[in-house]
């Protein structure tokens, strides 16, 4: 069996074409297999703050955070050290703060995660209130918040403990303690 240069050249050419095809196919498969991260950040803002105005032109709500990160896949927002202020024209505003937070894409739900502090300063005829809980769910349009975690509340010398709470911040403002309620009331 004799090999001539023509058959040898044809064999080398076919081998080169096969190797090149394999190499191109490998690169194409790698490019097609790349998928962007499903929950990737598109922008963030340091020292973020936004104020919503009421129908009377006065501030109604304010949300601020040390850092706000937006995710385009579900339009959600993550917050670091968020603070929410709910204003009332006839009493001091409610101040709500937590370690982290999350805002839904439709802005109808805010989750304040980890330790949450809810405070309202006192004023004439209005007692100060301090509430500590965890994992508070806020519906900002309704000025409503709830948690199923332990709640510790203090107003002056009065103390309350509960498992779970619902709060309506608009008039008439009310707090509903859900289970295992214990308290100490000072009549002075």
Mean pLDDT on 163-168 = 94
Mean predicted confidence (pLDDT) in 124-148: 93
pLDDT digits (tens, 9 = 90+) for 80-128: 999 999 998 888 999 999 999 999 999 999 999 999 999 999 888 888 9
Exposure string for 146-183, b = 16+ CB within 10 A, e = fewer:
bbebebebebeeeebebebbebebeeeeebebeeeeee
**How far is residue 116 CA from its own chain's centroid?**
13
pTM of the model: 0.75
Closest CA to 136 of 105, 169, 167: 167
Each domain of the chain, given as residue ranges in start order, spans: 1-34, 43-184
DSSP E strand stretches across 72-143: 76-80, 83-88, 91-103, 110-120, 129-139
- Which option is the CATH number for 43-184: 2.102.10.10, 2.30.110.10, 3.60.20.30, 2.60.450.10? 2.60.450.10
């Amino acid at each position: 069996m004799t090999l001539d240069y023509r058959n040898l050249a044809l064999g080398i050419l076919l081998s080169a074409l096969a190797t090149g095809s394999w190499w191109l196919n490998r690169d194409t498969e790698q490019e097609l297999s790349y998928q962007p991260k499903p929950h990737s950040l598109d922008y963030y803002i340091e020292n973020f703050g936004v104020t919503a105005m009421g129908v009377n032109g006065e501030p109604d709500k304010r949300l601020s955070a040390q850092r706000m990160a937006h995710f385009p896949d579900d339009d959600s927002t993550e917050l670091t050290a968020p603070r929410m202020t709910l204003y009332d024209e006839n009493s001091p505003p409610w101040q709500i703060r937590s370690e982290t937070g999350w805002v839904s894409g439709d802005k109808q739900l805010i989750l304040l995660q980890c330790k949450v502090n809810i405070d309202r300063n006192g004023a004439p005829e209005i007692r100060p209130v301090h509430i500590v809980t965890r994992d508070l769910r806020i519906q900002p349009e309704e000025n409503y918040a709830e948690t199923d975690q332990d709640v510790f509340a203090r107003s002056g010398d009065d103390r309350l403990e509960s498992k779970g709470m619902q709060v309506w911040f608009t008039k008439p403002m009310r707090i509903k303690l859900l289970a295992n309620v214990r308290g100490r009331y000072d009549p002075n």
